[in-house]
Amino acid sequence: DQQVKQNSPSLSVQEGRISILNCDYTNSMFDYFLWYKKYPAEGPTFLISISSIKDKNEDGRFTVFLNKSAKHLSLHIVPSQPGDSAVYFCAASAKTGANNLFFGTGTRLTVIP
């Protein structure tokens, strides 16, 4: 059963506009959340993360928002650039238990010049 869900398989955005990627999770034990970016034929690269003690974390053009009560997080990219076109994966982990990351199915972002 998928514990981390990305319900939008794809998203297209005009260059310069905001991209919003969404992620939902079901396991209330998750307390650390990450976003990864993946280009074709390459491994995922870490983008930004957020701990459950926060509701927002910002790094340059990237901001992650966490709504614990809704078990929902989102990644905002402002302004979007053509080089942001990639597949974005949401991931989550819990302090207790194993140290593995649970990944969503990914959202393919296309930024149109």
Partner 1 sequence: DVKVTQSSRYLVKRTGEKVFLECVQDMDHENMFWYRQDPGLGLRLIYFSYDVKMKEKGDIPEGYSVSREKKERFSLILESASTNQTSMYLCASRTGTGSPDTEAFFGQGTRLTVV
Note the residues at the interface with partner 1 (CB under 8 A). 6, 9, 32, 34, 36, 41-46, 49, 51, 89, 91, 93, 95, 98-106
CA–CA gap between residue 97 and residue 28 (Å, rounded): 13
CB 86 within 8 A of CB 61: no
By beta-carbon proximity to partner 1, the closer residue of 74 and 105 is 105
Give me the least distance between CB of 17 and partner 1, in Å please. Answer: 26
Give me the least distance between CB of 46 and partner 1, in Å please. Answer: 4
CB 113 within 8 A of CB 15: yes
